[in-house]
Amino acid sequence: MKVPDEGRRRTHVRRTLSEKVAIVRESMMPGVTAAHVAKRHGLALNVLYYWRKVYREIAATDLTAAPSPRENGELADLRLQVRNLERLLGQRTLEIALLKEKLGLNTEEGDGQHE
C-alpha cells in the first residue's frame, strides 16, 4: 500500500501581470502548445487557458468608445489602479537606482558626482 506524501505541498506562486502576459504570449506563438508552456512554467493548464481568455477579451476591448454612466465606478477603480501602479513603478525605479549605486554602476557619466 502506497501512502501519499504529506510533506509535499504545492507552493502558490504569485505572478505579476507582465509575467502572465509574457506566458500567454509565449503560449500563443505558432508551433507552441499551451500544455508545454504550462508545464514549463509550473502552471495548471486550466489556469493558462483562463489567462488566455482574459487576454483575448482585453485585446478585443474598444478603448476608444466613450464609457457609459454605469462604467464610471469602473473608471474610478481603474484610475486608482493606475495610481497604485505608478507608485509601485516609482518604488522599483528607486530600488534599482539604489542597487546600482551600491554595486558601483554609475550610469550617469559626466554629472560631476563621482565618488
C-alpha cell at 51: 489567462
What are the sequence ranges of the domains in the chain? Answer: 14-61, 73-106
Q: What angle do CA 86, 81, 58 make, to 5 degrees?
A: 110
Q: What is the pLDDT along the chain (115 residues), one digit of tens a residue?
A: 555 555 556 677 888 888 898 999 999 999 999 999 999 999 999 999 999 998 888 888 766 766 566 667 788 888 888 988 988 888 888 888 888 888 887 655 544 545 4
Q: What is the pTM of this model?
A: 0.48
